[in-house]
Structure 1
Amino acid sequence: MGAIYLIRHGQATFGEVDYDRLSSLGLEQGVIVGAELLRRHVRFTEVRSGSLVRQQKTAETVLDWLGVKTPAKEDPRWNEYDHVDVLACHGAGALPHGIDPHGYQAILDGALEEWVAAGDKSPCAETWPAFLTRVCDALAELVSLLGKGENAVVFTSGGVIGTIAGQLLGDPAVGLCRLQRVMVNGGVTKLVSGRSGVSLLSFNEHSHFDGRASRLLSYR
C-alpha cells in the first residue's frame, strides 16, 4: 500500500505586501519537518510542489534535510486558492490595516463560505468547482503514478489539504471551510492508496512541534 504525504508550507509573511515567501519562522519549520521525515525513514518515488514561492522554498528546505538532490516537480494544480481574489469578490475587499490573524480568519471564513455557495456563478477568476476539480485531478494523477508500496510527498497549502481531506471524508466544502482553520504550518497529512481507493490515514500531524520545538508552532 502506497502513501502520500501532504505537507503544508512553513509560515509565510502574513500582513506584508509580499505574502508569498517564508518568514524566518517558516524556514525553521521546514528544517523541523525535514528532520521528522528523516526520522521516519520514508523514501519517496514522487515529489511534487505547487508553483508558489512559499511551497517551493519549504520543499527545498525539507528535501535538503532528506538528502534528495532532485528538486520537487512543479505542478500549479497544488497551488492554494487566490485568497486576495476571494476576499475581493466575496469578502470585505481591502482589509483594515494591521488586522490581527484572528480578525482576518473570521473575514476569510465568511468569504470562503460565500465562494463555495456561489459555485460557478462566482465572479472570482477561479470558482470553487474549478478549484475542487484541479485539486482532485492533481491527486488522482499522482496516485496513478505510484506502484505498490511506493510513496509520494507534496508541498502545498492549507486550503488544498483541507479540501482533499474533506473530499475523502465525504464533504470537500467542510474540509475547506472547517478543517483548514486548525491546520498548522508544517503539518503533515497522510493518505494511503490501495485497492479500495485513497483513504485519509492522518490529518495535520504536528507532534514534531512539541517540546523544545513548541515555539515554532503557528497557524498563519
Structure 2
Amino acid sequence: MGAIYLVRHGQASFGASDYDALSPRGFEQSTVVGAELLRRAVSFSQVRSGTLARQRDTAATALKVLDAVVPVVEDPRWNEYDHVDIALHHAGGAPQEDSRAYQGVLDAALAAWTSAGEGGPCAETWPAFLARCRDALADLVASLGKGEHAVVFTSGGVIATICGLLMGTPETGLRKLNRVTVNGGITKLVSGRGGVTLLSFNEHPHFEADAASLLTYR
C-alpha cells in the first residue's frame, strides 16, 4: 500500500510586505520536517510542491536534509487559496496585524466563500479550488506505482480540504481543520485498492519537547 505525505509549509511572514516568504523560524521548521521524514526512512518516488515561494522553500530545505535525489515537480494546483482576495470580498478586507483577530475574520470569510459557490465574487471560487485540490490528488495517486510513496509540500487550506473531501465533507474540512494545521505538520494518506484513505492528520511530535518553541499555527 502506497502512502502520500502532505506537509504544510513552514511559517510564512505574517504582517510583512511579502507574506509568501518563509520566516527564519519557517526555515528552521522546514529543516526539522526534513529530519522527521529522514527518521521515518520512507523512500519517495514522487515529490510535489505548489509554486508559492513558501512551499518551494520548505521543500528545498527539507529535501536537503533528506539528501533526496527525486526532482520536485511544481504544480500550482497545490497552491493555497488567496486569503487576501477572500477576506477582501467576503469580509471587507483584514489587516495582517493581530494574528488572532485576523483568524476570526478569515474564518467568517471562508464560510461565506464556500457558501457563495460558483457565483462568488472572488477570482477563484470555492468549487474551483475544491476541484483543483481533488484533481491534484487524483493525478498524484494515478502516477504512483504499487507500494510507492510521495511527499507533497503544500498549504493548510489544501490539506484541510483534501481531508474533508476524504471524509465526505470538504467544506467542513476547510472550516474546522484549516485553523488548527501547524506549520510543518504532516498528514498521511494511504492509497490502495479501496481508494485513498486519511490515516493521520496534522502530525507534529517533531515540534514537541526540545523543539516546542518551533510550534506555530500562522
Query: Following TM superposition, by how much is the alpha carbon of 1:70 offset from its aligned partner in structure 2, in angstroms?
Result: 4.2
Query: Following TM superposition, by how much is the alpha carbon of 1:115 offset from its aligned partner in structure 2, in angstroms?
Result: 0.3
2:188 aligned residue: 190
2:35 aligned residue: 35
Give the Cα–Cα distance (whole angstroms) in 2 for the partners of residues 123 and 145 of structure 1.
35
Would you say the 8 A contact 1:11–1:22 is kept in 2? yes
Query: Following TM superposition, by how much is the alpha carbon of 1:170 offset from its aligned partner in structure 2, in angstroms?
Result: 1.0
1:49 aligned residue: 49
Give the Cα–Cα distance (whole angstroms) in 2 for the partners of residues 82 and 105 of structure 1.
14
Give the Cα–Cα distance (whole angstroms) in 2 for the partners of residues 106 and 99 of structure 1.
13
Query: Following TM superposition, by how much is the alpha carbon of 1:69 offset from its aligned partner in structure 2, in angstroms?
Result: 3.5
Give the Cα–Cα distance (whole angstroms) in 1 for the partners of residues 123 and 180 of structure 2.
26
1:8 aligned residue: 8
Would you say the 8 A contact 1:92–1:107 is kept in 2? no
Q: 2:151 is matched with which residue: 153, 170, 174?
A: 153
- Please state if 1:89 is matched with 2:89: yes
Equivalent residue pairs, number? 218
Give the Cα–Cα distance (whole angstroms) in 2 for the partners of residues 114 and 50 of structure 1.
25
TM-score, normalised via structure 1 length? 0.97
Give the Cα–Cα distance (whole angstroms) in 2 for the partners of residues 8 and 155 of structure 1.
6
Query: Following TM superposition, by how much is the alpha carbon of 1:91 offset from its aligned partner in structure 2, in angstroms?
Result: 1.1
Would you say the 8 A contact 1:45–1:152 is kept in 2? yes
> Is there any run of 5+ residues in structure 2 with no aligned partner, and where?
none
Would you say the 8 A contact 2:45–2:70 is kept in 1? no
2:114 aligned residue: 116
> Is there any run of 5+ residues in structure 1 with no aligned partner, and where?
none
Q: Per-residue CA shift, 1:86-143, capped at 9, x if unaligned?
A: 01111132x24x6311100000000000000000010111000000000000000000
Letter in 1 for 2:45: T
Give the Cα–Cα distance (whole angstroms) in 2 for the partners of residues 152 and 115 of structure 1.
31
Give the Cα–Cα distance (whole angstroms) in 1 for the partners of residues 173 and 53 of structure 2.
24
Letter in 1 for 2:157: G
Give the Cα–Cα distance (whole angstroms) in 1 for the partners of residues 15 and 207 of structure 2.
24
Could you list the structure 1 runs, at least 4 aligned residues long, displaced by more than 3 angstroms after superposition: none
TM-score, normalised via structure 2 length? 0.98
SS at match of 1:21: coil
Query: Following TM superposition, by how much is the alpha carbon of 1:72 offset from its aligned partner in structure 2, in angstroms?
Result: 1.1
- Please state if 1:61 is matched with 2:61: yes
Give the Cα–Cα distance (whole angstroms) in 2 for the partners of residues 126 and 4 of structure 1.
26
Give the Cα–Cα distance (whole angstroms) in 1 for the partners of residues 113 and 85 of structure 2.
10
Q: 2:139 is matched with which residue: 137, 141, 154?
A: 141
**Quick one: percent identity of the two aligned structures?**
64
Letter in 1 for 2:53: V
Give the Cα–Cα distance (whole angstroms) in 2 for the partners of residues 126 and 71 of structure 1.
29
Letter in 2 for 1:60: A
Would you say the 8 A contact 2:44–2:70 is kept in 1? no
